Structure 1
């Protein structure tokens, strides 16, 4: 690897770090919104509580799948890594 490739990798890493921070903040905002809605749900609204709880579980699974896909990187092939992460997170029918 030459110096030019190294500098390109460093720049790509810095961009990825910034994007990961933004993505993490977005996931946290959605999670906080779901938790707030759950806390404000009146007693007896069991269907809504279940839906919000499932949404929180799905959000966590999607976040984990995304993290695993990014960690695998392009060397493993993003498409294949995404398929594996989604299956591991239980986000497929089957």
Structure 2
């Protein structure tokens, strides 16, 4: 989980995740959204990938990034448990009335 919080600590990486909420993007498309060099963005992508927050697929010469929501959810649940909110409360909020 430390890798997840390290990844989330940077505003550029948080913005990448926000962009990926709307759907998969290539590395080039994501890089174009930021005023930094492609090698700098590549370093950000590697941190996100190492934390498990994104998964990649190859499509020809392109790398396509997908948001991995399950890792983010687990990190947030772990964080909430550390501060006494607990998994039971989160599970209760997910239940739908029948």
TM-score (norm 1): 0.35
Greater strand fraction, Structure 1 or Structure 2: 2
TM-score (norm 2): 0.34
